[in-house]
A and B are shown apart, each in its own frame.
Chain A
Amino acid sequence: GEKVEQHESTLSVREGDSAVINCTYTDTASSYFPWYKQEAGKSLHFVIDIRSNVDRKQSQRLIVLLDKKAKRFSLHITATQPEDSAIYFCAASMFGGGYKVVFGSGTRLLVSP
């Protein structure tokens, strides 16, 4: 079955810098890659996703890149703010959010002022 590896377990950046979280997946059939944010004591909250028909997607300060050949995708957070501090989970699915989604282990991002 699909396995998603999230490479950075923790990441510390200064406010205003960019943060990059990298993930790899194993199943070439995966075509949907969402990212979720979990703030302390709270549940998961969707932030952005990308489908395999594109290799880049941006939503405000968030950019997701997808390299299908390398089976790698990444989340770039630009101009980080303290409120970006949270655990970020990458995930992969064959078809979309209505199907089984396999999550990575999470990256704890700390943005210091």
Chain B
Amino acid sequence: NAGVIQTPRHKVTGKGQEATLWCEPISGHSAVFWYRQTIVQGLEFLTYFRNQAPIDDSGMPKERFSAQMPNQSHSTLKIQSTQPQDSAVYLCASSHHWGANYAEQFFGPGTRLTVL
């Protein structure tokens, strides 16, 4: 079990460029989450999918951020026209059913995005 895989691990973009972050959840996990972590804001929820369907994107900055889950094996987070304040570690997590409940979330190593 390779765990949650996130690529790239580090990405540097210039202001105004686009950044696409990839996440491969643990096989068999039906819920996938995206978070953003910064020193100032801490851990912020962005969005999540269950069985590939978007469920809650209440944490997403609407204008430039979008997330997709085209199949059960990967999800993408796209940031258009990146700004310096987008610099953060972006974390992906996945979770699976355990009886009637969902088990804990397993986190990937994160993608550190730096916008110059």
Of B43, B102, B106, chain A has the most CB atoms within 10 Å of the CB of B43
- Complex contacts, A46 vs chain B, CB 8 Å: 104-106
- Complex contacts, A97 vs chain B, CB 8 Å: 31, 95, 101-105
- Digitize A92-113: 1 where CB-to-B-CB distance is under 8 Å, 0 elsewhere: 0001111111111110000000
Determine if B45 and A95 form an interchain contact, defined as CB atoms under 8 angstroms apart.
no
Determine if B107 and A103 form an interchain contact, defined as CB atoms under 8 angstroms apart.
no
Give the nearest-CB partner of B101 in chain A. A96
Q: How far is the CA of A32 from the CA of B107 in the complex (A)?
A: 18
- Digitize B72-116: 1 where CB-to-A-CB distance is under 8 Å, 0 elsewhere: 000000000000000000010101110001111111111000000
Q: How far is the CA of A7 from the CA of B105 in the complex (A)?
A: 23
Size class of the contact patch on chain A: 20 to 34
Give the nearest-CB partner of A106 in chain B. B42
- Digitize A43-77: 1 where CB-to-B-CB distance is under 8 Å, 0 elsewhere: 11110010100000000000000000000000000
- Complex contacts, B42 vs chain A, CB 8 Å: 103-106
- Complex contacts, A89 vs chain B, CB 8 Å: 43
Determine if B45 and A100 form an interchain contact, defined as CB atoms under 8 angstroms apart.
yes
Determine if A44 and B95 form an interchain contact, defined as CB atoms under 8 angstroms apart.
no
Q: How far is the CA of A98 from the CA of B91 in the complex (A)?
A: 16
- Complex contacts, A36 vs chain B, CB 8 Å: 107
Determine if A43 and B104 form an interchain contact, defined as CB atoms under 8 angstroms apart.
no
Q: How far is the CA of A6 from the CA of B69 in the complex (A)?
A: 32
Determine if A98 and B43 form an interchain contact, defined as CB atoms under 8 angstroms apart.
no
Chain B nearest CB from A6 CB (Å) reads 9
Determine if A34 and B91 form an interchain contact, defined as CB atoms under 8 angstroms apart.
no
Chain A nearest CB from B110 CB (Å) reads 5
Q: How far is the CA of A13 from the CA of B101 in the complex (A)?
A: 36
Please give the residue numbers on chain A whose beta carbons come within 8 Å of chain B beta carbons, in ascending order.
1, 32, 34, 36, 42-46, 49, 51, 89, 95-106
